Amino acid sequence: MKHQSSRRESAAQATAAHVPDPRRFEASKRVLLIDAFMNRFIRVGGIGVVVAVIGIFVFIVSQVVPMFQSARIDTSTTTGLSEALPEGDYVAIASDEWGERPLALRADGRFFVTDLNEAGRVAESDFQFLEGDTISAVSAMPGSGVITVGTAGGKVHLLDYAHEASFSGGKRSVKETLAKGYTGTFGGPVRRVAFGQSGAARLVAALAAGEGGDRLVVNLIERKRSLVGSGTWKETASIDLTKTLRPGVPVNSLLVSNRADTLIVVFANGEVDYHFRAGNATEFELRQTFRPFAELSNPTIASAGFLFGDVSLVFLSPTGDNVIFSLYRTEAEPVRIFHPTKNFAPLESKVTDSFFTKSQRNKAFLVGAGKRVSLRHATTEKVRWEGDLPFSVRHALIGPKYDALLFFGDDRRFHRYALDDPHPEVSVKALFGKVWYEGSPEPKYEWQSTGGSDDFEPKLSLVPLIFGTLKGTFYALLFAMPIALFGAIYTSEFLHPRNKVYVKPVMEIMASLPSVVLGFLAALWLAPILESRVPSILCIVILLPAASFVIGWIWSRQPQSIRKHVPAGREFLYFIPVLLSILVAGWHLGPVLEKFVFTVNDVASGTRIGDFTRWWPAVTGTVYEQRNSLVVGFVMGFAVIPIIFTIAEDSLSNVPGALRSGSLALGASRWQTAWRVVLPTASAGIFSALMIGLGRAVGETMIVVMATGNTPIMEWNIFSGMRTLSANIAVELPEAPHHGTLYRTLFLGAVALFVMTFAVNTVAEVLRQHLRERYKTV
């Protein structure tokens, strides 16, 4: 009994020892603290990421917004006001680079200089040139450094003016110099005069009265340069164009381009003659006669002038209509002639005594009449600013730095106003619409930020860059998507588990390759190979997939007695040699195909030869470039494949095994199970993989910088290059002036990339949720 009692006590103690301790489910304070910290850390980190993304977007937008502001001119406050000049008729004005010491020419030949930094003090210059004659015509082209004066005595004087700055005690002082550069005789009183110069050549055109009527004469003045310096100006030719005048039709104005090759004659009836001098010729050719306002009831021209660069003419009608004609050549025309390209809003005032002046830095110009002034820009076809001044304008100038407007009013005073218009060449149309640029026969999308001359017209359309981004992405996904998706399906559903452990590391190594290395290989290794092997690529693209399907179909038709000798999931080990043989055969079959199919006539030998690089342009009319979209598709696709493959394979592998087992138990084959059960269930994840791959391709930079010609063209030709938004930023930003127009336009490109990525991700998330809801019960 005693022994039994002892055993019962031992059993009770053992039972008590195995009773679960209720405190075993309680977490320690250390674990709770770590858990609480991590929850808050993750929450704060997520909020931080969102705030950082929003902050980046706000910063980028803040760099773009100032670009769309209009010009600002405060007419209530002048930055310089001169004393009233002496009584008289002032026929021309000129200014220095800083707009501090403008000078005015009076009809009696006297010059008056104003110092706007010294309370607008006026002083008369000692320079004299008329010698008892009187001024009958004058022309002062901004920035030329020359005032051309015609006299009643039949002479034309070229008056050279210059301004020299000196610094003393940290203060700048400007001193002007005036000199007579050339004097020519034209027989009778000069009614109209014009001047232009280019290098060592000057062209002076004058309309002078004669016994039989007006005469139009153009003098060519040149000087020779030698090792000891420049020589003196000498008249080398005199060209009589009197026969081109209209009897009884007065000439309103003459214009000469700064290339010294173009003469424009504006008649009182609204007709315009365009004369051209080719090269060093001493004869002019009348190339065109046109009427800018032919459709108006009053077709006369109130004022006319060249834009900066002397490729475009600006015309203003008496009713305020404003049009621009530019030089370009069409296929039906052997030479460039003037065509209408821009039509501005009419000036909001009656034009009685109009004026015109051009900017010396860009395609802006100033027109007006009386108190009404309008600042306009030719590229954007926009009115930058328009308003009324408290005085009537006699003469006007735009500051050489495009930072001031200088007016000479009917009160005989100079008025200088500050101009704040840092981005005149920007508008929504210029960035995203078709623009009719100088020299182009039609409006078009074009990106060309810089040129070889100061009068270059920036072309800042983002459309070719957006197109290039979409084009590169399309060809990259065209190559990457089928390989990545079929590879993911095969790896998840058919590959032997022991072989799967090698696939993922290989894909991770592919994803880790730097873009600059891939771009370097594409440009210097792959592109030269593909240039001469496109037919081989075509053979491989056709033969390899076809052979894979044929091999798979034949293998599936083999009896079990044969298939049992190959372990399931390792069939590829036996098929790889066959596929490699087909690949090699396709590579060597390419030149044979090229020889018989892609043939062109060889001019040198007179025979037909096989050359795909010449056959493609001849048949399609498009170009063939070594660095093209095919190269980008291969290399950028190579960079995108690991991303799509990894995410898609994970999505397929995470499909519950019970779904596979159920499908196979009902008699479905492995391929039917993969296609009809596994693939729909994992479709949300696969779609996410595609969208992430798309985002990777859209933002790729170094590959497209190095593997394409970086040409911003708009064509789907697979054998031409492109320029993407990201590549454009990488190429242009180092040379963009800080806060300049190009700088801010590149930031706008970044905004476009941001918006494109955001739109793609938003659409992807919506579709992913839709697919997830649709197949969640499968």
User: Rounded to whole angstroms, how far apart are CA atoms 192 and 190?
Assistant: 6
3-class state of residue 267 by DSSP: strand
The CA angle 176-180-185, to the nearest 5 degrees, is: 155
Taking the chain (778 residues) in consecutive chunks of 10 residues, what is each chunk's mean pLDDT?
59 59 70 88 92 92 92 87 91 90 92 89 90 90 89 92 82 85 88 88 90 88 71 84 92 92 94 89 90 93 93 93 94 91 86 87 92 93 92 93 93 93 93 92 91 80 94 93 91 83 85 89 91 91 88 82 77 81 90 90 84 91 90 92 91 87 86 87 87 88 88 90 92 90 94 88 81 66
Question: 586 — phi, psi (to 5°)?
Answer: -65, -40
User: Rounded to whole angstroms, how far apart are CA atoms 209 and 191?
Assistant: 7
| Cβ pair 217, 242 in contact under 8 A | yes
pLDDT at residue 632 in the model = 92
User: In terms of C-beta density within 10 A (0-12 exposed, 13-18 middle, 19 or more buried), how is residue 107 classed?
Assistant: middle
Three-state SS annotation for 158-220 = EEEEEEEEEEECCEEEEEEEEEEEEEEECCCCEEEEEEEEECCEEEEEEEEEECCEEEEEEEE
Instruction: Identify the H or E element spanning 687.
Output: helix 683-698
Residue 435 is classified by DSSP as B
pLDDT at residue 11 in the model = 58
Beta bridge partners of 313: 306, 325
3-class state of residue 684 by DSSP: helix
pLDDT at residue 114 in the model = 92
| Cβ pair 186, 130 in contact under 8 A | no
pLDDT at residue 25 in the model = 65
pLDDT at residue 472 in the model = 92
The set of residues, in sequence order, having a beta carbon less than 8 Å from that of 580 and lying 6+ positions away, is none
* Lookup: tokens for 429: 């149309």
User: Rounded to whole angstroms, how far apart are CA atoms 608 and 184?
Assistant: 65
Q: What is the DSSP string of 630-655?
A: HHHHHHHHHHHHHHHHHHHHHHHHTS
Q: What is the DSSP string of 708-723?
A: S---------TTS---
User: Rounded to whole angstroms, how far apart are CA atoms 475 and 637?
Assistant: 8
Among the listed residues 176, 245, 174, 237, the one whose alpha carbon sits nearest the alpha carbon of residue 210 = 245
User: Rounded to whole angstroms, how far apart are CA atoms 205 and 215?
Assistant: 10
| Cβ pair 135, 109 in contact under 8 A | yes
* Lookup: tokens for 320: 């305020």
Q: What is the DSSP string of 232-255?
A: --EEEEEEE-GGGSPTT--EEEEE
The set of residues, in sequence order, having a beta carbon less than 8 Å from that of 525 and lying 6+ positions away, is none
User: Rounded to whole angstroms, how far apart are CA atoms 661 and 5?
Assistant: 57
